[in-house]
Amino acid sequence: MVNRRQFISALGSVSLIGTAAATGSGLSAEDVPKEVPSGPIYLNQNENPLGMSPHAKKAANAALAYGHRYPDAMVRSLAAKIAHTEGLSNDSVIIGAGSTGLLIAQMFAMSGPNTTVIAPAPTFSRVERQCAVTGATYVPLPVNDRFEVDLEGLERLSAKTTGPVIVYIVTPNNPTGVLVPTNPLFNWIKRAPANVFFLIDEAYHDFVDDPAYQSAVSLVKEGYKNVFVARTFSKLHGMAGMRVGYGFGHADVTGKISAYYAPWNLALPSIAAAMASLDDTDFIARGKKSNSNGKAILTETLDALGLAHIPSQTNFVLHQITGDHQTYKDRMEEAGFLVGRYMNTGPGWNRVSIGTPEEMQAFCRTLKNFRDKDWI
């Protein structure tokens, strides 16, 4: 019989399957798609078109041998691994079913009928929908004409609000791709009154290359108790279907949130894949390069067509179109492309996810064809 210590050790070795090959060896040409796949090209969900790390796939498959065991020990191992990487104590990191699962748990833990949630508009809509469940009041504040988050306006709103306040900030924002300036945001968090809590969604953190950017995890390191930071393996790690997210907060904060989810709600293969993916630095670098190249192909075409676009620090671009958005989506689908959701950006804009460079070349040919037909 395998005891718990042996079980944890075995699962740890599962996550290492393939990672020895991942360090220094690079990925073979077979690991990255070179042709446009048959069927629709998915440019609407901000997924990684390269898929999961091959070493993560191997680890997930190997973990199936332990499918009869509950995953909580492995979940703690993943949390400890992330905590070590970020220089935090283990109790400052929690693991959830995607970052969305953690956002929902935070709302259950910290919001109710007397709570006001303040957020920019447009932004990721899960927290707004969760307000309908917890009874909180959701107050959106439109971004400016450059699609930048109005931090001063949000702070004024919070100052006028009585009772508990949750400020929800996605940075870089979705669907705009725009970073929220670090210094003004951090200064507000540091001076905020006791009734204001900050929920920082860093789902696209891994794509940011702006040297001025700093993660809000640094505030957790400094001991601030009024902030929780959520991240995900769904984007750069290519694990959207595996449902693994992680969050950072003071132990008092993570303790409250942990009461609203069960650590065994995650699957062992998902956790093993996440641990292996963290170690596959070559695949991570390849994903960033593919995204950068694909984004450059798109923005060059948009510029050539005279279609405005918002500078993006993510794996998607918000760009101008002409005419009705639904008509544009339908025509793109007929051409073989599923493109972005409307997400309250207003008329004349579309969010497109970045596919492989080959997929973006095909998409850009379709854009040019649409221009020839006066559709955009």
pLDDT of residue 149 exceeding 50, the answer is yes
pLDDT of residue 343 exceeding 70, the answer is no
Mean pLDDT of 184-213: 98
pLDDT band, residue 17 (cuts 50/70/90): very low
DSSP string spanning 197-223? Answer: EEEEE-TTGGG---TT---THHHHHTT
Mean pLDDT of 201-210: 98
Show which of 260, 292, 318 is a domain's final residue.
260
- How many helices (DSSP H) and strands (DSSP E) are in the chain? 14, 11
pLDDT band, residue 169 (cuts 50/70/90): very high
For residues 109 and 255, state if they share a domain.
yes
For residues 241 and 155, state if they share a domain.
yes
The CATH number given to whatever domain includes residue 152 is: 3.40.640.10
Cα–Cα distances (Å) from 230 to 67, 204, 287, in that order, read 27, 10, 21
pLDDT of residue 333 exceeding 90, the answer is yes
Task: Please indicate, yes or no, if residue 26 is contained in any of the structural domains.
Answer: no
pLDDT at 88: 98
For residues 157 and 193, state if they share a domain.
yes
pLDDT of residue 37 exceeding 60, the answer is no
pLDDT band, residue 265 (cuts 50/70/90): confident
pLDDT at 111: 96
pLDDT of residue 32 exceeding 80, the answer is no
pLDDT at 50: 98
Three-state SS for 353? strand
Mean pLDDT of 362-376: 97
For residues 107 and 165, state if they share a domain.
yes
pLDDT of residue 7 exceeding 90, the answer is no
pLDDT at 21: 38
Mean pLDDT of 353-361: 98
- Measured over the CA atoms of residue 200, residue 206, residue 212 and residue 217, the dihedral's sign is positive
Quick one: what percent of the chain has pLDDT higher than 70? 88
Task: Please indicate, yes or no, if residue 7 is contained in any of the structural domains.
Answer: no
Question: Could you tell me which residues are beta bridge partners of residue 94?
Answer: 247
Identify the helix (H) or strand (E) that includes residue 201: strand 196-201
For residues 106 and 246, state if they share a domain.
yes
- Measured over the CA atoms of residue 310, residue 311, residue 313 and residue 314, the dihedral's sign is positive
What does pLDDT average to over the chain? 91
pLDDT of residue 68 exceeding 70, the answer is yes
> Domain range for residue 112?
98-260
- In tens, the pLDDT along 300-309 reads 999 999 999 9
- In tens, the pLDDT along 276-318 reads 999 999 999 999 999 999 999 999 999 999 999 999 999 999 9
Task: Please indicate, yes or no, if residue 18 is contained in any of the structural domains.
Answer: no
- In tens, the pLDDT along 71-127 reads 999 999 999 999 999 999 999 999 999 999 999 999 999 999 999 999 999 999 999
pLDDT at 245: 98
- For tokens 């200064």, name the residue: 187
The CATH number given to whatever domain includes residue 310 is: 3.90.1150.10
- In tens, the pLDDT along 48-63 reads 999 999 999 999 999 9
Question: Could you tell me which residues are beta bridge partners of residue 166?
Answer: 117, 197
Task: Please indicate, yes or no, if residue 61 is contained in any of the structural domains.
Answer: no
pLDDT band, residue 262 (cuts 50/70/90): confident
Mean pLDDT of 125-149: 96
pLDDT at 29: 39
Omega before 122 cis (within 30°)? yes
Q: How many domains does the chain have?
A: 2
Task: Please indicate, yes or no, if residue 346 is contained in any of the structural domains.
Answer: yes
Longest CA span, the chain: 70
pLDDT at 264: 77
Task: Please indicate, yes or no, if residue 153 is contained in any of the structural domains.
Answer: yes
pLDDT at 19: 44
Task: Please indicate, yes or no, if residue 4 is contained in any of the structural domains.
Answer: no
Task: Please indicate, yes or no, if residue 85 is contained in any of the structural domains.
Answer: no
Omega before 37 cis (within 30°)? no
For residues 255 and 307, state if they share a domain.
no
Between CA 238 and CA 232 the distance in angstroms is 10
For residues 244 and 306, state if they share a domain.
no
